[in-house]
Amino acid sequence: MVRTLAVSAVALLALAGCSRKGEIDVTRGVGITSVRSACPAAGVPAGTGDITLFDPAGNQLASAIDVTATITNVRATCNESGEDIVSTVTFDIQARRTRTDGARQVDLPYFLTVVRGGSQVVAKRINHAVLDFPAGEARAQATGSATAVVQRSAATLPDAIRQQIVRPRKAGAEDAAVDPLSTPEVRQAVLNASFEALVGFQLTQDQLRYNVTR
The candidate with the shortest Cα–Cα distance to 40, out of 160, 143, 147, 185, is 147
Nearest residue to 207 via CA among 93, 57, 56, 95: 57
Number of domains, the chain: 1
139-196 pLDDT, tens per residue?
Answer: 999 998 888 877 778 777 777 777 777 767 666 566 656 666 667 878 777 877 888 8
In a domain, 142, yes or no: yes
d(CA 200, CA 108): 11
Asked whether residue 11 is domain-assigned, the answer is no
Domain contains 15: no
Q: Give the percent of the chain with pLDDT over 90.
A: 42
Q: At what angle do helices 159-166 and 184-192 cross, to 10 degrees?
A: 120
Neighbours of 185 (CB within 10 A): 11
Q: Is residue 96 a part of any domain in this protein?
A: yes
Q: Which residue has the higher pLDDT, 99 or 164?
A: 99
pTM here?
A: 0.74
Residues 55 and 59: their CA atoms lie apart, in Å, by 7
The model's pLDDT over 107-135, given as tens digits with 9 standing for 90+, comes to 999 999 888 888 888 888 899 999 999 99
1 domain-assigned? no
17 falls within a domain? no
Residues in the chain: 214
Residue 123 near residue 154 (C-beta atoms within 8 A): no
Residue 111 CA to residue 82 CA, distance in Å, equals 27
**Domain that residue 127 falls in:** 41-171+178-213
Phi and psi, residue 208, nearest 5°: -65, -40
Please report, as a single letter, which amino acid is at residue 112: L
What is the rounded CA–CA span in Å between residue 46 and residue 72? 13
Q: Tell me whether residue 46 is in a domain.
A: yes
